[in-house]
């Protein structure tokens, strides 16, 4: 007996704190249930954790949060990391996003640490910071940062603003009205205009006295299960009761419609872009403000037409369409605005090429096209006939995330766009195509960021992994210059792979902590995204979703084979759809990484469509109601592939209790299942925040705390020390 006790003591002394605590997880009782899908019985021991707000779930959440806090706060690295992050953000320069142009002024959302939320400001121009005026500061409404600005729309003359505000990261927005010059809020407000499922939008009439806006059903208009669906368009006239607002359109739209409204440059025309859920299909409807009937709309395109975007020409006679019909990388068409020309007779302006057309912008005499080339961006300039190509000179690995045609003068062809890279902070650039004798000039405006830390020792390297089926997958590798390929580098691999969303180059100064301790960061451009067009997207959705997971595993294997890292020094991180990716990766390849960080993820793919936003995802993921789609979903659903007595890596789940996009029950259930199943003794932790949702509108303080927790977890698992930088 004595020898056995001595051996036990030796074992306990050699085990890490995380290994010791893994056996002490809070109790997650099993309450077995079973469902049948197309003759397949599927069991679920933790269905009870879906019942948000019940005493049992509240007690479980409190116990798990306490357990996680005890673990993370006990790490000596956590306090050092939090202090360093706080100091970096205190030195961060203000950044401007969401720019909107109106005659004589620019509107922008300004993020200015240490303020918790973005402000809404105006400027005389992008070159005159001294002209900046604050119109609306949500931080003054709630100093802890629990009121967020979802989106805003200035009136045509810029004198009034419609602003959607929501609380606690919920994205459940109410529309308010403000006077731009004074910041005065008008008495009226409109509820139910914004919700995470389908978003929200608004557009002003030419005289600035009426507003078309999206609204979800009010209580009593639809059954309770449908209140976050059936988004429709209504019309409000300022100074009149909201109860008298008139219906405009949407009764024949799909249950999962997502509506985006925008107007022509002259203000006469209103376009409603209607998405059929999240799968990338769009229909477009046109309203003429000269028609007094708000219900008068002309359908321009249908879901099956492959039209991703429509932009108004400045001549009042033309529409420009970005199409993927028989052109998966995109082409540009021109169509008569008056309806005299059928879609099939539209004029081809810019044909498909090797680059992916991501966006188009029209000025008085020019057409600008933003391209993607596997991740980095390019801007091409044409005349309105699609001729006289000029490529705007950008750094080779730049990302462009917004092109804005200025509206100071009707004949103005100048553009603003925000350019960034992996190693340089973002800057708003002005492009004047008429300068330099017609060859164009590019200048940095006063709206640019500087970094609180130096990145001159960091380089971005682009390599390609080979997936299971032979497809080449781009990897963007950020590392310190001279990093040895000896397999010893702590490496963090991230990815997304869904909805046609592309991961463009972007700058994050907080990564300095990672690089200073020998870390390597890798961003994978997986199938399911849009980096190589619609074919790339469709190769990773519906029944082809497994390709995304194979791509990511191939990227991890590539990093190991190339000598960047080894499994015990590799961590992976993703969020939302990228959280699903993390779940699939850890259940399919539990031995390929040491640690997994997964934010607001989806894990029980058989029940995701029962949530409001999950229903919107059917066009991207598929439905268990379809036998073939069920088989594909069930084959990868992470929750259903957790295997007892498997040595899983360390896992850190993060979720927001106010998340209307992904039900936090997914994180609760997956955490409970892994805690019960894993034999590795590596920790399985969960952080459930009552002050956040899916991530939009999260306060700065909460974001810093979350980042500190993640880095402390990774440093512990990969054997890194924050107290002394790696040499």
DSSP 44-108: ES-GGGG-TTSHHHHHHHHHHHHHHHHHHHT-HHHHHHHHHHHHHHHTPPPEEEEEEEETTEEEE
Q: How far apart are CA 74 and CA 35, in angstroms?
A: 41
For tokens 């918790």, the residue is 116
Catalytic (active site) residue 694: yes
Are 59 and 49 in contact by the 8 Å Cβ rule? The answer is: no
Degrees (nearest 5) of the Cα angle 365, 369, 370?
Answer: 145
CA 489 to chain centre: 28
Task: Report CA Rg, the chain.
Answer: 26
- By three-state DSSP, how is residue 264 classified? coil
Structure tokens at 129: 């910071």
Asked if 398 and 376 touch (Cβ cutoff 8 Å), the reply is: yes
The DSSP 8-state label assigned to residue 222 in this structure reads: B
Residue 689 is among the residues annotated as catalytic for this protein: no
Q: Which entry of 502, 576, 667, 692 is annotated as an active-site residue?
A: 576
Peptide bond into 114 cis (omega under 30): yes
Residue corresponding to tokens 């009149």: 240
According to DSSP, the β-strands at 595-599 and 650-656 are parallel
Place of tokens 């929200």: 200
Catalytic residue among 284, 558, 640, 694: 694
**Percentage helix, strand, coil, to 5, in the chain?**
25, 35, 40
- DSSP state letters, 576-620: THHHHHHHHHHHH-TTS-SEEEEES----TTTGGGSHHHHHTHHH
CA dihedral for 184, 190, 192, 197, sign (positive or negative): negative
Residue written as token pair 């997914």: 666
Question: How far apart (Å, rounded) are the C-alpha atoms in residues 179 and 555?
Answer: 51
CA distance 356 to 501: 12
Q: Is 164 exposed, middle or buried (0-12, 13-18, 19+ CB in 10 A)?
A: buried
> Quick check: helix, strand or coil at residue 61?
helix
Closest listed residue to residue 445, CA positions, set 118, 106, 90: 106
Angle made by CA atoms 439, 445, 450, in degrees to the nearest 5: 125
Q: 436 in helix, strand or coil?
A: helix
State how far the Cα of 62 lies from the Cα of 79, in Å rounded to an integer: 22
Cβ atoms 639, 667 nearer than 8 A:
no
**Separation between Cα atoms, residue 285 and residue 280, nearest integer Å:** 17
Which residue numbers are catalytic? 576, 694
């Amino acid at each position: 007996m004595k020898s056995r006790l001595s051996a036990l003591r030796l074992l306990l002394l050699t085990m890490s704190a995380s290994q010791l605590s893994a056996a002490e997880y809070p109790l997650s009782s099993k309450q077995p249930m079973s469902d049948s899908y197309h003759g397949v019985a599927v069991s679920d021991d933790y269905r009870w954790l879906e019942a948000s707000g019940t005493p049992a779930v509240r007690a479980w959440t409190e116990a798990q949060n306490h357990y996680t806090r005890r673990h993370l706060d006990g790490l000596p690295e956590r306090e050092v990391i939090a202090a360093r992050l706080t100091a970096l953000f205190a030195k961060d320069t203000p950044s401007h996003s969401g720019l909107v142009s109106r005659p004589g002024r620019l509107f922008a959302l300004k993020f200015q640490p240490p303020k918790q939320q973005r402000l809404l400001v105006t400027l005389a121009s992008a070159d005159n910071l001294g002209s900046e005026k604050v119109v609306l500061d949500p931080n003054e409404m709630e100093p802890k940062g629990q009121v967020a600005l979802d989106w805003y729309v200035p009136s045509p003359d810029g004198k009034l603003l419609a602003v959607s505000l929501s609380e606690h990261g919920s994205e459940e927005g109410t529309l308010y009205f403000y006077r731009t010059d004074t910041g005065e809020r008008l008495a009226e407000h409109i509820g139910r205009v914004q919700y995470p499922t389908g978003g929200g939008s608004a557009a002003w009439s030419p005289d600035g006295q009426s507003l078309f806006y999206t609204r979800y059903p009010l209580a009593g208009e639809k059954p309770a299960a449908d209140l976050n669906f059936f988004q429709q368009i209504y019309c409000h006239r300022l100074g009149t009761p909201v109860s008298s607002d008139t219906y405009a359109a949407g009764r024949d739209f799909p249950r999962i419609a997502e509506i985006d409204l925008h107007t022509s440059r002259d203000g006469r025309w209103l376009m409603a872009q209607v998405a059929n859920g999240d799968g990338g299909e769009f229909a477009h409807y046109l309203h003429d403000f000269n028609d007094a009937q708000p219900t008068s709309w002309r359908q321009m395109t249908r879901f099956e037409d492959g039209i991703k975007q429509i932009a108004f020409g400045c001549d009042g006679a033309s529409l420009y369409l970005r199409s993927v019909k028989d052109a998966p990388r995109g082409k540009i068409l021109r169509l008569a605005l008056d309806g005299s020309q059928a879609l099939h007779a539209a004029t081809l302006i810019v044909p498909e090429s090797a680059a992916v057309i991501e966006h188009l912008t029209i000025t008085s005499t020019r057409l600008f096209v933003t391209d993607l080339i596997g991740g980095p961006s390019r801007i091409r300039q044409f005349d309105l006939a699609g001729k006289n190509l000029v490529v705007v000179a950008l750094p080779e690995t730049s990302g462009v995330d917004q092109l804005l045609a200025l509206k100071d003068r009707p004949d103005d062809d100048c553009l603003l766009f925000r350019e960034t890279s992996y190693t340089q902070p973002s800057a708003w650039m002005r492009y004047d195509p008429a300068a330099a004798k017609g060859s164009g000039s590019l200048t940095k405006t006063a709206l640019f960021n500087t970094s609180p830390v130096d990145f001159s020792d960091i380089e971005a390297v682009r390599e390609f992994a080979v997936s299971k089926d032979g497809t080449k997958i781009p990897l963007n590798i950020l590392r310190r210059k001279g990093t040895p390929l000896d397999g010893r580098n702590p490496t963090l691999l991230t990815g997304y792979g869904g909805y046609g969303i592309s991961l463009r180059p972007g700058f994050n100064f907080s990564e300095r902590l990672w690089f200073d301790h020998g870390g390597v960061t890798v961003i994978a451009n997986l199938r399911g995204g849009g980096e190589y067009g619609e074919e790339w997207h469709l190769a990773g959705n519906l029944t082809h979703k497994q390709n995304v997971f194979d791509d990511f595993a191939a990227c991890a294997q590539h990093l190991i084979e190339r000598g960047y890292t080894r499994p015990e020094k590799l961590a992976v991180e993703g969020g939302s759809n990228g959280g699903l990716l993390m779940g699939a990766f850890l259940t399919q390849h539990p031995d390929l990484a040491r640690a997994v960080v997964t934010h607001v993820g989806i894990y029980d793919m058989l029940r995701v469509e029962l949530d409001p936003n999950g229903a919107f995802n059917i066009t991207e993921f598929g439905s268990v109601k379809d036998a073939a789609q069920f088989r594909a979903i069930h084959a990868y659903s992470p929750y259903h592939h957790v295997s007892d007595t498997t040595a899983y890596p360390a896992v850190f789940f993060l979720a927001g209790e106010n998340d209307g996009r992904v039900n936090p029950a997914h994180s609760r259930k997956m955490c409970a299942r892994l805690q019960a199943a894993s034999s590795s003794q590596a920790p399985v932790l969960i952080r459930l925040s009552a002050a956040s949702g899916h991530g939009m509108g999260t306060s700065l303080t909460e974001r810093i705390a979350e980042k500190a927790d993640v880095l402390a977890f990774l440093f512990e698992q990969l054997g890194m020390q924050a107290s002394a930088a790696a040499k």
